[in-house]
Amino acid sequence: MQVTIELSDDLGNQLLQMPDMQLLVQKAVEKMLLEEQKRRATNDLLVEQRELLQQTSNDEISPITRSLVGILKGYYVDVADYKKHLEEKYL
The answer to whether position 4 is within a domain reads no
The answer to whether position 1 is within a domain reads no
List the one residue out of 58, 81, 52, 80 whose CA is nearest residue 70. 58
Task: Give me the chain's average pLDDT, please.
Answer: 80
Full residue range of the structural domain in which residue 30 is found: 9-90
pLDDT bracket for residue 69 (50, 70, 90): confident
The answer to whether position 84 is within a domain reads yes
The answer to whether position 3 is within a domain reads no
For 13, the 3-state DSSP assignment is: helix
The answer to whether position 64 is within a domain reads yes
The answer to whether position 2 is within a domain reads no
pLDDT in tens, 4-44: 666 667 777 777 777 777 777 788 888 888 888 888 888 88
Q: How far apart are CA 42 and CA 36, in angstroms?
A: 10
Structural domain count of the chain:
1
